[in-house]
Amino acid sequence: MINSRAKSIYQFPTPTAIEHSTAMSSLLCCLRRKPGDKADPADNDETTEFITDILSRLENDPDDKPAQKKIEDQLQAQPAAVFDALKQEANRLPLPEVQPTIAPLSAPSPASTTDKDWVNSVGEQRCTPLKKVKPQTLQELVNVINDAREKKQRVRAVGSGHAFSDVARTDNAVLVDLVLLNDIDAIDAAKLRPHAQGLAPRLLQVQAGVMLRALKLELDQRGLALVNMGGYDGQKLGGTLSTGTHGSGITFGPMASQARAIVLVSETGVVYQIEPGGGKGVTDPERFSGVIQGVPVVLKQDDDWFRAAQVAMGCLGVIYGYIFEVADAFVVKEQRRSTTWEEIKPELAPSKWHPVAPIVAAVDHFELVLNPYTRWFRNACVKIERTRLPNDTPASGERQDWLEALLQQVAIQKAPDLVAFLSKIPFLSPLVIDQAIMTLVYDNPYIDKSYNVFSMGSANEIKGMALELHCDAKQCVPTIDKLLAVFQEQALKYMWYMAGPLGIRFVAASDAFLAPQSGRMTCTIELAMLTGLETGKELAKRVKERICTADTTSVRVHWGLDMDFVTAKDVRAWYPDFERWNGVYKGLNTTGMFSNKFTDRVGISIN
């Protein structure tokens, strides 16, 4: 039995995917029971009766502290029995009908349709387009732009819909789904400048609609690999690069840092191949053919254009493809160790960054998974260290497939039931997160192909959202301490809890004008949450208000993970090169063809 207030929050769309980090993996396994850890049936019966009685009291008075304490004490004494009882209660909750979404964007469909809205992967962003088109060639894409210009229509490119912000949301526009533009071709080395000749085996022409999952497998077949990647591989390449998506590693920038050229169709129908200027572009202008697939192309080697187009949220035009630098295939060794924030933060203090904190510089990829809530006078933490190894290194070890473990080893059968469970007992979040973090630690390292180690695996298939903060890496400790204080305050004041740990990564600076990592080594802090939890978004909004400031030293927010909190004032305050980006934008969007809900929000729409 649940009260009317609780019923209103169980709005669960069909599970889809969430980007990015080990934090979400941990969130999904928060109820995982270790193999063989089974409750005695007699204990279960007695505990179920006890828990049911306590939950009834909490439904009548959610702030009943003695009742909360009884469940917490019982959980520490008999965790398996208590979890079984709680999950049985959660499984009895009715699940409402879900709002259907459009067919997966990776599935071929007619060239254009007008009968359905476009929604993002978590159902939080929706728009009604004039039509949706899926060009198969560069010429078809140019035709779409020319037709829209003649009819004075707006245009927006869409990918897999994994941005939680309104970056792709555009009503009454032509939505261009690039799913059929997914070719991967070798570069013609004869057209490269001398300084780029040595890169030729690792430079590929990649169309913007290719999914990272397909790209990484194709690269592996060629003995190549992505230089770096985030934890989710269900995104299209164009959307991934355009929003500043990143992996981890203080010597590796966001994925857009690997673009060596950007092929963009402008509002006039002119196609530009955009590269850095000053002789740094990879293409030799004298040898450039001036055509792609028979379509005339203008080679634009200009620093401002390139740095603007690297991370542009689809505002400059429709990106057709890239010249993209990859790496020779490699293996990664991952080691996870249990620690606490109190133990590790002296190693990350501002005084340690000369220029990089030794603990971060010691490995190729350094990450933390941190419980934002204090338990037993400390914040539990897992240190994740990844080292790149030669490609012939044998694979060994294994890493738990969190979603599979969740479904196989606990009573909860569906992701929405997990949301119901966590919604019903939010005050247990700190203890649940502690138990989750402990399941992330393994004695032996996990060694595998790079993309297998970087990817979250089947944990991607759960539906969730996230807010991701980007701070100056040197200021990671004071920023995280301030964030933990906000969490503690909101929990005590409003009973607002995050349902998972924080995922903390370190990334190199980016030259892109509007990359969240622009101009500084960056610490990224991901706040992951399951869709449907009542207070997650309100808590995330409060975090943004308390943590971000109106100056260039501020914490910034990931473009795809900002939950529509970033304002026009924020953008102008956070990014020193905003006006340079805006100058390129105004030159390429003179008619407002690429204006949308996002450009309205950040104050750059042209009407």
From the list 336, 341, 203, the residue with the least C-alpha distance to 260 is: 203
Task: Note the pLDDT tens digit of each residue in 250-291.
Answer: 999 999 999 999 999 999 999 999 999 999 999 999 999 999
Where residue 108 falls among pLDDT bands split at 50, 70, 90? very low
Are 500 and 27 contacting, i.e. CB atoms less than 8 angstroms apart?
A: yes
Across residues 93-98, what is the average pLDDT?
40
Rounded to an integer, the average pLDDT of 127-137 is: 92
**Structure tokens belonging to residue 428:** 């247990």
User: Does the pLDDT of residue 30 top 70, yes or no?
Assistant: no
pLDDT in tens, 467-486: 899 999 999 999 999 999 99
Closest alpha carbon to 313 in 18, 592, 606, 596: 596
Q: Residue range 358-381: average pLDDT? A: 92
Mean pLDDT of all residues belonging to the chain: 82
Q: Look at residue 60 and tell me whether its pLDDT is greater than 60.
A: yes
pTM for this entry:
0.85
pLDDT tens for 530-547 read 655 556 677 888 898 999
Query: Across residues 415-432, what is the average pLDDT?
Result: 65
Residue-level length of the chain: 607
DSSP structure class, residue 504: E
**Between residues 525 and 21, the one the model is more confident about:** 525
CA distance linking residue 27 with residue 473, whole number of Å: 25
Backbone angles phi, psi at 362, to 5 degrees: -70, -20
Rounded to an integer, what distance in angstroms lies between the CA atom of residue 227 and that of residue 600? Answer: 35
Distance CA 43, CA 129 (A): 56
User: What would the 3-class secondary structure string for 86-150 be?
Assistant: HHHHHHCCCCCCCCCCCCCCCCCCCCEECCCCEECCCCCCEECCCEEECCCCHHHHHHHHHHHHH
Q: Which amino acid is at 544?
A: K
Q: Residues 308, 577: contact at Cβ < 8 Å?
A: no
| Nearest by Cα to 287 from 357, 383, 196 | 196
When mean pLDDT is compared across 131-140, 400-409, 421-430, 501-510, the lowest value belongs to 400-409
Segment (H or E) for 272: strand 271-275
If one compares 49 and 194, the residue with the highest pLDDT of the two is: 194
Top-ranked range on mean pLDDT: pick from 3-12, 99-108, 515-524: 515-524
Q: Alpha-carbon distance 362 to 364, whole Å?
A: 7
Average pLDDT for 26-33: 40
State percent of the chain over pLDDT 70: 77
The pLDDT of residue 537: 72
Read off the pLDDT band of 453 (50, 70, 90).
very high
Q: How is residue 109 written in tokens? A: 């469909």
Q: Phi and psi dihedrals of 110, rounded to 5?
A: -55, 160
**Residues 44, 384: Cα–Cα separation, whole Å:** 36
Pairing verdict, β 131-133 and 126-127: unpaired
Taking the C-alpha atoms of residue 434 and residue 431, their distance in angstroms, rounded to an integer, is 5
User: What is the per-residue pLDDT for 87?
Assistant: 61
Is residue 35 predicted with pLDDT exceeding 80?
A: no
Q: Which pLDDT value is given to residue 433?
A: 73
C-alpha angle 541/517/483, rounded to 5°?
35
* Distant-in-sequence, close-in-space partners of 562: CB < 8 Å, separation ≥ 6: 164, 165, 467, 544
Helix, strand or coil, per DSSP, at residue 24: helix
Give CA separation, 258 vs 36, 187, 318, 323, in Å: 46, 15, 19, 9
CA distances (Å), 474 to each of 358, 434, 467, 482, in order? 12, 27, 21, 14
Which pLDDT value is given to residue 455?
85
| Residues in contact with 443: Cβ distance below 8 Å, sequence separation at least 6, in sequence order | none
When pLDDT is averaged across residues 66-95 and rounded to a whole number, the result is 66
Tell me: the pLDDT tens digits for 287-334? Answer: 999 999 999 999 999 999 999 999 999 999 999 999 999 999 999 999
| Mean of pLDDT values over 377-394 | 94
Q: Write the DSSP symbol of residue 27.
A: H
Residue 297 is classified by DSSP as: E
Q: Regarding predicted confidence, which is higher, 6 or 57?
A: 57
Q: Average pLDDT in the 423-444 region?
A: 74
Query: How much is the pLDDT for 323?
Result: 99
pLDDT in tens, 570-605: 999 999 999 999 999 999 999 999 998 889 899 999
Sign of CA dihedral 74, 80, 81, 86: positive
Task: Count CB-CB contacts under 10 A for residue 365.
Answer: 24
Query: Where is average pLDDT lowest: 198-207, 337-346, 369-378, 463-472?
Result: 463-472
